[in-house]
Chains A and B, each alone.
Chain A
């Protein structure tokens, strides 16, 4: 079967070579077809030294083969199908590596070598109908709400796939499509101040329940991205012996409902949102004595038997985006900052407590502010702007149970991020820098990267991803041993 998938990969390569950078734009009878795709290979090299939760040196070679195809039947009806094959060639390459085996990474092969389930191969598959002011899309799709990057507040309809790590802030391949029905209606308006007004409804019939994927504790499940939670000298938290209750397919217990009103008022975009559905991450509690294993490198792994479920979540929120022209400065290039604001109030969100091993419900308030700004700094770059995007978010638990703290959350939790990039040589060379800070837990992620795009077919990236923490197993500290260098190569068609 694996040979078959590698043959599929070869087919992608031929297809890409044959169609060149433009992909395929053609007609099949009366149907317009537009096809694109890419072949991507990314390698990482661990530089944090020898640790139980990382492989020193070469540690991953993740590849993606993606094809996307739009079929336009007439001006109101189109279909979109995308397929992706993802895998990590580190598994066959390091299969006989002693360090790899001693740390138990080889045990995650079934989970992370090749994503061959149909639900992984078939990315999106939907039909869209757009008569007049109406929009209807049914099928496997992605619906993104919210305004924040890196941090998700309102964006909760689709789960995330972080099984290949958290360094990639390009979201497109990390969002898991779901089988949804999405309908929108744009109310005709002749108002002088209201440019557009639309109503959106999204329904998840739970055709295939899909939680978040990745960042699982335990090398045998999470691979090289398994978070490191130290319980004592030479002892770490291992993979859970999970018994997590999932809604059955098509069971109304798994239905999600999302409603949004959105408006373009003069220079601003405003949305009002309501969501009622299932969380994509489970809440767990320990239900028995631990199981202990000892890895080949002598580290003891504590496996906790747990039970849990994907709790209901219900929240309402608002987003607001605008730019502020009076804040522009011609000395800095004349571009005004654009502000993105997002706020959400969650009702009876379920949390697991850390010490008392219970589930508790509390309301929460979660907000974020982001700024998108471009400035000219001729001394550093005579021709192109610098993009600067700072963000700050806060998650506040209302009536925090001080006597039984919530696992991994304080009453007030702050995060921040900063993205800076620019370009040289006519957009061929793009250096960028990302910093994400878990303010509450005093831990950081740093990403330094340079991308070289010689043309629209090829892209080459190299960079470094670094983590730091307080040594307390909180925030980014659990990735403290995962410092790495990386390089990517992408061929697009």
Chain B
């Protein structure tokens, strides 16, 4: 048997592959490929060091500075129009709903001593947040020893999101048990004016269909660090996380579903996450395809660099912490918990509606972490109208017996999540401070912080994300990304 293969035939095969890929590369019209705008962690940290750096780095490497001008312009809208339209969506402006509780607490600078000496602050903050207003000290990172209260702002989403919400929300329905009929949802915030028996569930669906992260079309770099109960660094990582929205697209077209496949399968978004550090995780890639219906399991693939193989992850493995962090899969990326009547069903109620004093979204990225005590410094606080929502788990075998969410009434982003175990002990908390880009009407993961705490193991994980809007296509996602991006 002849075993010789002529170089010509091999060349022909390669040429065919290249030609096929060139014609089917699927680069989107009008949007530059996101990787052309990506900065690596070292480049980001030239403008914002890991610790003790108050530089407002969003004024230097924010979307306006990094994105091509025409892309940035496409994502920016008239601020007045956005404010007016969003008020029409939710029916109010947040500044009009606050100032009723402890009105004597005015904008200005405060320290933890002011907070401890004035009981009004205890009334204005939920207990876990109140307990963080102190100097940095074990067992957890993320204490806030001083802050500035700023006047309450009106927050809003971009014009396309607001308009799609207004157009679609009246068609969105829940079934008789309070679960979303996913075929009735097209785009926008599904329940901008929650009410009725299933108000709490409506708010949770607003979180599930949220638009933070530039409507979930983004690229992200994040350093994340784990600290033990002595505040010693025990996990030091870097991840890249890229997300593509498949359902409910408003800003980056096409509006609604990305394609026919997304609509047929009820795909809501897809993303992948790559570890760049530490060494043992370097080159690990997780690819996820997420579906809107609560009873449809997501599709997860994992590339393990130590095995050089792609593995199928069990789609039911949602209660374990992700990669050494203090965040379980169901809380990953802010929220991945599905509402299902058959699998770990929740009973959801709004238990309170009132104003709270909360960390404000960051506009310029001047907030920072102190090396001493791992405090969050340069923080701004503002009064916000909030919902307090309790989710009671009906299955005694789930890792959590209860979740408590503090949800902003105007934006439907949650500021804090408290998870209690089945014995009623506070187990894990998640506190998010977002970035806000006023001219874009967009919330993002950076330049804020993502603080996860384990109150039983006394451990913290602190993320410092950097986020940019990104137009991804199917070519950039799925199984192929495991091979392209993995080690």
A interface residues (Cβ-Cβ under 8 A, vs B): 20-23, 25-27, 32, 34, 36-38, 68, 70, 75, 80, 128, 130-136, 142-144, 146-147, 149, 170-172, 175, 183-186, 188-192, 195-196, 198, 201, 203, 252-253, 255, 257, 262, 264, 266-269, 321-323, 325, 328, 330-331, 333-338, 340, 372, 374, 376, 383-385, 425-428, 454-457, 459, 492-493
Contact = CB atoms under 8 A, between A and B. Distances in A.
Q: 3 tightest A-B contacts by CB?
A: A132-B25, A134-B21, A75-B35
B10 interface: yes
Interface string B23-54: 01111000001011010111100000000000
Contacts of B277: 21-23, 25, 36, 456
Nearest to A182: B483
Interface stretch (B124-132, B312-320, B378-386): B312-320
18 contacts: A23-B282, A132-B21, A135-B483, A135-B484, A172-B305, A183-B17, A186-B475, A190-B259, A255-B5, A264-B479, A321-B311, A333-B397, A336-B316, A372-B314, A376-B397, A455-B235, A457-B236, A493-B279
Interface string B305-329: 1111111111111111100100000
- Among A38, A262, A330, A425, residue most surrounded by chain B Cβ atoms (within 10 Å): A330
A171 B306 contact: yes
Contact of B316 (A32, A201, A331, A334): A334
A203 B6 CA distance: 13
A340 B304 CA distance: 15
Interface in B343-394: 343-344
Nearest to A264: B479
A337 B327 CA distance: 22
B22 A195 contact: no
Interface residues of B, number: 81
A87 B306 CA distance: 21
Contacts of A201: 13
Given A25-B40, A132-B26, A267 B297 contact: yes
A131 B24 CA distance: 10
Nearest to B313: A338
Given A133-B21, A136-B14, A267-B299, A36 B279 contact: yes
A196 to B, nearest CB: 4
B234 A374 contact: no
Nearest to B484: A130
Contacts of A134: 17-18, 20-22
Contact of A171 (B233, B307, B459, B487): B307
Interface of B: 3-5, 10, 13-14, 17-18, 20-22, 24-27, 33, 35-36, 38, 40-43, 228, 232-238, 259-261, 264-265, 276-280, 282, 289, 297, 299, 301, 305-321, 324, 343-344, 395, 397-398, 454, 456-457, 459, 474-475, 478-480, 483-484, 487
Nearest to A326: B316
Given A23-B282, A185-B20, A262-B479, 9 more contacts: A25-B40, A133-B475, A135-B484, A192-B264, A372-B311, A427-B324, A457-B278, A459-B280, A492-B278
Contacts of A185: 17, 20-21
A335 to B, nearest CB: 5
B238 A22 contact: yes
A212 to B, nearest CB: 17
Contact of B24 (A70, A130, A132): A132
A81 B317 CA distance: 35
A425 B27 CA distance: 47
B312 A385 contact: no
B484 A330 contact: no
A133 B479 CA distance: 11
A376 B320 CA distance: 10
